[in-house]
């Protein structure tokens, strides 16, 4: 049964056909098999993407129940479950839908296009499942209220209209780029380097930038991690740094977050052109933060949204970006959470993204997970493995009071040992 119909333009329909080329996975582990049906019902009743289908230029929202796919019992980890769901249960025909749910007795995986979800959306789902378990039966049908995603271009239509057009990732001259020196490995799917760490293993954790188990200025730390790992690959310390940050725009809306705010993001590029070896990590990070704040105030993120669908020439090198999902604060019956991005390769996807999130447990344990994604048609896998290891080494061993030059030399020595 059809709930609602949205007529698309020819261009919109063409774009929608390719939604499944870039997918996000939310994998959840539970303490009892009896929780799985409850999560299935929650997703089916609240995730609008599960009920969308494309017929010609009509986007349909239906009332049909979602098909539940089976995850094999040999799939033990959430990361394995997320990958299995992407590889085996991503819809290939938009008339059949765009999303999937997969489960076994201990985990469930929600697989949605990035156009229908982001990290903030995943956190919203987890928080609402845990917070409103006892109230859910009295909820109205939220999909009647939000049958289609609320487009970020509609939310900020006035700001975007006033913004100037400008460069994006692939052609922005100010963004730092990783330049591969070896032949790329080639492939039709994006490649990844993943790692986890305990915040208590980070030397910066107990410095002045940490309090009550939280590492403050963590974005600054990640900016410098990407930048200096790029520099050791180049073989020299660059004086110019520009790192993109994927930003959640929900906090900038005039209305509370809802199940219709599926994807609400835009990037800001922080730039500093005066790096020298005698500056500290703290000082360079502060200059990048100053740039971020100034560009946010100037509405540079709206310029990106206005310009992203224009034609842009692909510049050499792979732009560097961080994407912080934030913290999943979990409690029983949820025992663990994992998020990932999986996508097909495209010539316009040149960037390297350091995606990070934490899972905070009831007992106080805090697990940090990172996933560096890249296009193998531009970058050699051996180089990216060394780059990923350098990022992990930086995050665990560098401190804010270290000189940039000393940090570069230490990281360079480590790079030479793993490359």
Q: Is 10 exposed, middle or buried (0-12, 13-18, 19+ CB in 10 A)?
A: exposed
pLDDT of residue 214: 59
**Bond into 298 cis (ω within 30):** no
What's the 3-state SS for 19-88? HHHEEEEEEEEECCCCHHHHHHHHHHHHCHHHHEEEECCEEEEECCCCCEEECCCCCCCHHHHHHHHHHH
Residue 143: inside a domain: no
Residue 147: inside a domain: no
Regarding whether 282 and 214 lie in a shared domain, the answer is yes
pLDDT of residue 170: 86
- 404 close to 272: Cβ distance less than 8 angstroms: no
Domain of 21?
A: 2-116
Q: Residue 309 maps to which CATH number? A: 3.30.559.30
Regarding whether 103 and 182 lie in a shared domain, the answer is no
Regarding whether 273 and 362 lie in a shared domain, the answer is yes
CA angle 26, 32, 36 (to 5 degrees): 45
Residue ending a domain, among 91, 116, 141, is: 116
Looking at the 3D structure of the chain, how many domains does it have?
Answer: 2
pLDDT of residue 74: 93
pTM: 0.95
Regarding whether 78 and 181 lie in a shared domain, the answer is no
pLDDT of residue 136: 55
pLDDT of residue 254: 85
Instruction: Name the H helices within 199-280.
Output: 218-234
Instruction: Name the H helices within 68-162.
Output: 78-89, 119-131, 142-145, 152-155, 157-162
Distance between CA atoms of residues 319 and 170, nearest Å: 7
Residue 132: inside a domain: no
Please list the pLDDT of the chain residue by residue as tens digits (419 residues). 899 999 999 999 999 999 999 999 999 999 999 999 999 999 999 999 999 999 999 999 999 999 999 999 999 999 999 999 999 999 999 999 999 999 999 999 999 999 999 999 999 999 999 998 766 554 557 899 999 999 999 999 999 999 999 998 889 999 999 999 999 989 999 999 999 998 888 888 766 555 555 567 899 999 999 999 999 999 999 999 999 999 999 999 988 899 999 999 999 999 999 999 999 999 999 999 999 999 999 999 999 999 988 888 888 999 999 999 999 999 999 999 999 999 998 887 889 999 999 999 999 889 999 999 999 999 999 999 999 999 999 999 999 999 999 999 999 999 999 99
Regarding whether 361 and 272 lie in a shared domain, the answer is yes
Residue ending a domain, among 116, 143, 177, is: 116
């Amino acid at each position: 049964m059809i709930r609602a119909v949205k007529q698309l333009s020819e261009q919109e329909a063409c774009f929608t056909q390719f939604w499944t080329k870039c997918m996000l996975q939310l994998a959840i582990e539970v303490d009892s098999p009896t929780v799985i049906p409850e999560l299935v019902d929650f997703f089916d009743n609240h995730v609008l993407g599960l009920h969308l289908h494309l017929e010609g230029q009509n986007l349909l929202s239906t009332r049909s129940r979602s098909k539940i796919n089976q995850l094999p019992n040999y799939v033990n980890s959430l990361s394995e479950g997320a990958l299995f769901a992407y590889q085996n249960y991503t819809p290939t025909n938009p008339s059949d839908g765009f999303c999937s749910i997969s489960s076994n007795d201990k985990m469930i995986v929600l697989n949605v296009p990035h156009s229908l979800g982001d990290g903030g959306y995943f956190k919203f789902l987890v928080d609402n499942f845990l917070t409103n378990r006892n109230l859910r039966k009295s909820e109205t049908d939220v999909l009647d209220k939000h049958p289609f995603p609320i487009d970020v271009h509609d939310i900020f239509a006035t700001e975007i209209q006033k913004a100037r057009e400008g460069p994006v990732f692939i052609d922005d001259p100010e963004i730092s780029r990783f330049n591969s020196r070896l032949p790329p490995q080639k492939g039709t799917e994006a490649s990844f380097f993943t790692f986890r760490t305990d915040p208590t293993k980070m030397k910066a954790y107990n410095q002045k930038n940490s309090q009550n188990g939280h590492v403050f200025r963590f974005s600054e730390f990640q900016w410098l991690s990407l930048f200096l790992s790029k520099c050791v690959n180049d073989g020299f310390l660059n004086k110019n740094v520009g790192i993109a940050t994927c930003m959640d725009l929900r906090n900038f809306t005039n209305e509370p977050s809802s199940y219709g705010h599926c994807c609400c993001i835009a990037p800001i590029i922080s730039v500093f052109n005066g790096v020298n070896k005698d500056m500290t990590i703290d000082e360079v990070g502060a200059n990048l933060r100053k740039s971020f704040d100034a560009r946010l105030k100037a509405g540079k993120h709206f310029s990106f949204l206005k310009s992203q669908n224009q034609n842009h020439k692909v510049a050499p090198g792979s732009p560097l970006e961080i994407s912080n999902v934030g913290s999943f604060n979990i409690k029983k019956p949820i025992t663990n959470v994992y998020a990932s991005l999986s996508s097909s390769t495209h010539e316009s996807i040149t960037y390297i993204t350091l995606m990070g999130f934490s899972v905070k447990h009831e007992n106080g344990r805090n697990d940090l997970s990172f996933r560096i994604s890249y296009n193998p048609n531009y970058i050699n896998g051996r180089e990216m493995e060394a780059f990923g290891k350098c990022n992990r080494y930086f995050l665990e061993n560098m401190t804010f009071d270290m000189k940039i030059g000393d940090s570069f030399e230490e990281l360079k020595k480590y790079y030479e040992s793993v490359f």
